[in-house]
Structure 1
Amino acid sequence: MRDVDGPDASSCYRPYRRADKPDQFACGLVSLNTVAGILVSLIQQDFGRNVYTIKEVVSEIRDKETRRQLAVLPYQLHFKQPFPEYVKLVTEFSKKTGDYPSLSATDLQVLALTYQLEAETVGVAHLKTEPEKKKVHTVFISPEVPAVLQSGEDQENAGEDGSEGDSDDGEGWITPDNIKRIQQGMGHCDAPASVQVGCVTTDFAMQNVLLQMGLHVLAMNGMLIRQARSYILRCHGCFKTTSDVTRVFCPHCGNKTLKKVAVSVGADGTLHMHFSRNPKVLNTRGLRYSLPAPQGGKHASNPHLAEDQHFPQQRLSRKARQKTNVFDPDYIAGVSPFAENDIYSRAANLQIRDAALGAGRRRMNPNIATKKFVRKR
């Protein structure tokens, strides 16, 4: 198994023709500065007849320029809330793919709305309930063979130039002039004509969940994303990997040092891991100071340091459950199941609280102005 340090090339796009405009779209994403870009892109590309979103996506927009663009949209923006059962289904699926930590509550609702529109329009028979697991074959690579000596002419040219002879003629590069020709040669120009529901998002975690479920995803430029990313967990302590993305602690060394790494499988079955060059991937938060002393008691809040660590159940006492359980045969009818606030007694007027509620001399608002007694001279 070898590691490849480079960008993830697993996301492929193909153009989406205007003639195949889907009937319904779900719009939403995480970053606030691209919400307006998606809505403006929907105007320019003119794909989709009905655009659906949730109110949480629009409520995240704060700047005036974006709100001004939303006020003059040439089409109607439909707001629809997904059903709770679809939100639960999408949440469980994202946990299996390993994208759940990267998704917010708004993202999960947008995913659930896309699933709901697909179920109402097409059905759910073609959708997947479990993510596909790729078969990984470990391949041992032999040492590299020494390069063949160059010919005499090549050696002379190399000696004259003193370099490898890099050329900047642009051959092999993808430019705006040749991108259409390259896409036609790869056979990626045709889009399925039976697409009726799609989701417009630029978040890679959302795209991965949608594609693995069998839903259609479109980018802002109208390109149909057709390949999803795959992730594994890699321990940066013992450098072991695991395909179980639901784990929190390393199954080999037991430390909480698992990080998500994008992977791709080559044609020969070799597993390639794509690492990030960002040093902030390995977060050092919590490593500066020592851990606090463990707390005891029923409602202790201790950090989760081991997989087999015991935690208190934090259940109510039997007496506390009897006070509010009206169906209990030992329920006392004279005791009200609702909370009562005493506002007429002398203790309430003097703001003297019970010890269970926090005794002591205190004011409800420490910033309020109070009159102090000053003896006149």
Structure 2
Amino acid sequence: MEQTLAAHTEDDSEKAGTWVEVPAKADPTAGVNRKMEKLEVQDNFQAELTPESAPAEDDGADSDDGWITPSNLKKHQAKDTKEVLPTTAAVSLKVAMLTSDYAMQNVALRIGLNLLSPAMSRITQVKNWVLRCHGCFQVCKKMDRQFCPKCGQATLTRTSCTTADDGSFQIHLKRNFQWNNRGNVFSIPKAVAGTASGKLPSKSAGGKNNWGTKLLFAEDQKEYERAVEEKRRERKKDLMDEDYMPNIITGERTGSNGKLRLGPGRSVNAKRARS
């Protein structure tokens, strides 16, 4: 407790020369000064904070402690796929051309027109395809061919290509492409002589289940020419025709794209006799 020296008064002349302890009065402004000092310190601390060091205020959509909501769904998806969301708004097209013709699409893109597909989606690039021989590297633009016009082998592969603004033609090849040699390990059976009735002499003629009797190896082969002519006639038939039968019933050797199957195929055991 603080002690102060009491002043001598006239009435206390008898007690002159003595000291009296009087309790000191509390300063009413002491607490106010302390509060003001605290406020000044807090104001200085807030002023020193920069926007980078200040804690970021969470948005209302992201203040769900990690919950995925419709408002932050796109943000979480982009974070998982490491995709950068576009910062610029999508540009609306005032005028556009809609067509499903590939030739018209190529011309429209060449002259700089906005192009749309029948599904109302914008087309920015149209793929072009050519046939390239894997044996002699000959390029063929007739997509219905199955044999190379130069070497005559069935080694044509469909390859995408582009034409630059200066007119240069470029083919885009697959990296580390490996030609499929499945089916070449089987020996070709010996040729079987025909009969007047067109029937085979035995069930074992031409290999197991007669799989080697109608193999196609060349474009000038009579079996290939006959098969192409039959295929052309079948295309003219209506699917609702009573005489029409799909390949799954007739067992015709055609590929998934409707073209004739060349060579022995992947496995000679794939085609078995039906019971």
Greater helix fraction, Structure 1 or Structure 2: 1
The TM-score bracket by the shorter chain reads 0.3 to 0.5
Radius of gyration: which is bigger?
2
Q: Which has the higher contact order (CA 8 A, sep 6+)?
A: 1
TM-score (norm 1): 0.27
